Structure 1
């Protein structure tokens, strides 16, 4: 039976069937490019958009920080719905305030030098091995947090 299918798959009819099957998949895939999903905004600060993706990432990082803090104290902690709602509100407020501060710094033409940024990053003990900064550890730690060096450096520059 399989031999009959293989022999039949070599003819022009097989190619017509393959093309008929491929067309819907191609059109479906192109639809993603022709009609992209609009970026969902969580807030806008003086024309700068804060995306829902960035907001969700920040909330997740805050949750992880709080869990780690409680675990270090030996406390098993999980968020209630009310606490999670408050965390989301506080995170949004923080992101708006941070963007306002960044805009103020930019308007005042203040810049963080690359040397200062590198010094600050090298001071984080989480990136050290044998009391020295380790580039491999730096990249590994960032990957485990779902970030890359460019994103992290941008955040540190904003924080400074």
Structure 2
């Protein structure tokens, strides 16, 4: 009889160890799952870093494009200002010539009145042409600036869309 009791007691001792083994196995599985999740997190972080690098590159490209367009616009504006200065000077000359023409025409005793009229008409034509050219220069300046700004927006949008 005492032998049988000791066998039961030994079986009872083995059962808790089995339970501990099972618990340890479960813990190891949970640890493996945690490691897998950590690996996934690392991969996600790498992807995020790559995306951030791409964003930085896109921003650098946008800055470069914007700087270039600003330089072009500044140059166009300088050219426009110079053209406007020329236009103003020519218009001043036209006004002065027209004033001289009026003076000559008012003076009835002037001998070369017909020749002066021809010259005045010619000066008027030249002045009108200069005014047309000045207006065209202004239009070209406005269009050039608009086109450059539109190019910037297009380049920025395409680089962002490409991203």
- Same fold, judged at TM 0.5 (above): no
Answer with 1 or 2: which has the greater Rg. 2
TM-score, normalising length: structure 2: 0.22
Name the structure, 1 or 2, with higher relative contact order (CA <8 Å, separation 6+): 2
Greater share of residues in helix: 2
Greater share of residues in strand: 1
